[in-house]
Amino acid sequence: MVYTQEHTGKKSRKKGGCRGCLKFGLWCVLIVFLLSGIAAALVFRVPQRLGILPSATKRVFTQTPDRAGAKKVLAEARAAGLNTQGISLYVFPVGDGTKSIALATIDERKGFSFGQTAGLDPMAHVMTKLMAGPTVTEIGVERVGVHYIGENGAQFGSFTASADSIRAVAAGRMTKEQFISAVDGDVNIPAMLKYQLDALTKLQ
């Protein structure tokens, strides 16, 4: 009797086994790809960008801004020497409403100028002045954010620091470099590029 491959269960099982290995391998690769894709999507905030999940802004700033508090904070910053022309300030209660986050938009087109910054970098200067008065403590400001719109109307960057680090740099307990490390933010690189290129073009 001649045994062909069809009759030998061993051989065909072996062949099937290899196919199984290949399938298993492909599934593994697919799962790894899928998991990597999901991880990347979460890191890069794709669901929030697509509107599937609410963004951090929508999750955190759910309450009506404390406009009266913001008015007082801005008046106190002005009294402390900050040029408040071109600055709009909103104070958002967060959590149970006893803490808040102050967000300033600085618009250079509306007449804002840093003026004398007393050796501090521009963000530290603005943030320390915004935290200068007693109202920030009364309304529980725990963080300050600054959004800077340049002379060409582009939003150049957004920076934020905790109230503790702002107080520390104001009191000299933190160096300029340590403060920069404590600042979180986002830079609009295309806007910066355009500004730099325009400046270079003007020079030529």
Partner 1 sequence: MKRSILTFIGVALLALPLAACEKSDTDVVVDFMQSWMKDKGILDADGKPTLQAGIVATGFGTTGDDRVDAAVQAGTMLQSLHKADKLVDEAGDAMMGRPRDSDLALNKMNAAIDMRPDDWSYLNRRGVVHMENGNKKAAQADFAAAITTCNGSQACIDRVNKDREAVGWDVFGPSL
187 is a contact residue toward partner 1 (CB under 8 A): yes
Q: 161 has which bridge partners? A: 144
The answer to the question of residue 70 lying near partner 1 (CB under 8 A) is no
CB atoms within 10 A of CB 129: 26
Number of residues that bind partner 1 (CB under 8 A): 69
Q: What dihedral angle (degrees, nearest 10) is formed by the CA atoms of 191, 193, 198, 204? A: 170
Residues 1-40, mask of contacts with partner 1 (x by CB under 8 A): ----------------------------------------
Tell me the longest C-alpha to C-alpha distance in the chain: 106
> According to CB under 8 A, which one of 70, 112, 133, 166 is a site residue for partner 1?
112
Among 21, 79, 118, 189, binds partner 1 (CB under 8 A): 189
Nearest approach in angstroms of CB 169 to partner 1 is 13
Q: Is 46 exposed, middle or buried (0-12, 13-18, 19+ CB in 10 A)?
A: middle
Element (H, E) at 130: helix 122-130
**Segment near partner 1 (CB under 8 A); pick from 18-26, 29-37, 129-137, 190-198:** 190-198
Residue 143 is a binding residue for partner 1 (CB under 8 A): yes
